[in-house]
Amino acid sequence: MNSPLPPFSALRAFEAVGRLGGIRRAAKALGVSHAIVSRHIRGLEERLGVTLLDRESGQLTAVGFDYHGRLVKVFNELREATDAVRGRTDGKLVISCVGGLALHWLATRLAMSSGRNGMPPVDLRSEEGLLDLSNNAVDGDIRYIGDCQTLDRKRGVRTLELARPHVFPLASPMFVSRWGDKIRSAEDLATLPLIEERSDVEWRMWMKAQSIDLPPNTPTGRYGHAHLALAAARAGQGIALGNHYLIAEDLAAGRLVKVVPREKEFVPVTLGAYVFRGPANRWSDPSIVRFRRWLAAQFSADPAY
């Protein structure tokens, strides 16, 4: 017999916390008190027997990230079904975004700007996979396209490149204090634990830019998504690759630090770009144009290095 599901109110609170990046933002969006959202999260944790939210950092734990990613798909389906019934008459733009950027960069900026100075209100949804925009389920899609990926250029979709951030090695202060003296150049990184997302392609490309061929079968920890790889790096499990938009808050708080070689500096590397994609037949809609211009301005105002 299947176990009963947690209360919908708790799931809704947790989904909002993960999507908006904190309990206070979730409480404001849901129109309830901070205490109520906190109580929902604690009740959900007790029911599931896991810790979903790190109270010190205010960020989701690795388990919380994974659970949130699964819940997001369910809530997106509920929203899409509701939008279809309503005929999308509320004037909101539905924007999907890759999870790491949504959590660590975009949600905060949207919370400060949405609905102000002509900026249309936005329903932000976290999606990891490249969406089919032909069915108009979303008004726009933001994600990172690696240079090793092939972007679908099919007719009916327009694309705007937003930024090509530098990618650099980073680790926890604990890890660097232990191993930093051994890192004289990029070549020494291959002797230390490396953390990757879905494959070792980005590490191999980054090493290639340093004129180094990563040895075959180099031990790496694989975590599937950028936010999980960064969580592993914060926990001191190794060295990950990241960019400014994903780790600026971690660097400022001292949870992560850039890995700096003692002798030969790393060559600056870009491995891809953040892009905005939208249906070609709605590319010139006034609300989408305003959002696209706002988004481009946000990226331009926040250096990618």
Residue 87 clears pLDDT 60, i.e. is over it: no
The mean per-residue pLDDT over the stretch 107-126 comes to 79
pLDDT in the model for residue 88: 54
pLDDT in the model for residue 291: 92
CB 125 within 8 A of CB 95: yes
What confidence tens digit (pLDDT) does each residue in 164-182 have?
Answer: 999 999 999 999 999 988 8
Whole-angstrom CA distances from 31 to 13, 19, 60, 242 are: 11, 15, 21, 35
Please indicate, yes or no, whether residues 180 and 305 belong to a single structural domain of this protein: no
**What is the identity of the amino acid at 157?**
V
Question: Both tokens of residue 223?
Answer: 């975590």
Ranges 35-39, 125-129, 203-207, 248-252: which has the least confidence: 125-129
Please indicate, yes or no, whether residues 247 and 280 belong to a single structural domain of this protein: no
From 75, 90, 105, the end of a domain falls on: 90
Confidence band of 26 (pLDDT split at 50, 70, 90): confident
Give me the helices (H) in 49-179, please.
62-86, 99-101, 107-113, 173-179
CATH of the domain at 231: 3.40.190.10
Please indicate, yes or no, whether residues 7 and 57 belong to a single structural domain of this protein: yes
Please indicate, yes or no, whether residues 2 and 86 belong to a single structural domain of this protein: yes
Please indicate, yes or no, whether residues 14 and 76 belong to a single structural domain of this protein: yes
Ranges 78-92, 172-186, 206-220, 288-302: which has the least confidence: 78-92
**What is the identity of the amino acid at 220?**
T
pLDDT averaged over the chain?
84
Count CB neighbours of 254 within 10 A: 9
CATH of the domain at 81: 1.10.10.10
265: in domain: no
Reference 72, options 45, 33, 98; nearest CA is: 98
Residue 111: give the domain boundaries.
92-162+273-305
Please indicate, yes or no, whether residues 55 and 81 belong to a single structural domain of this protein: yes
The mean per-residue pLDDT over the stretch 149-175 comes to 84
Number of domains in the chain: 3
Q: Residue 152 contacts by C-beta under 8 Å, 6 or more apart in sequence? A: 130
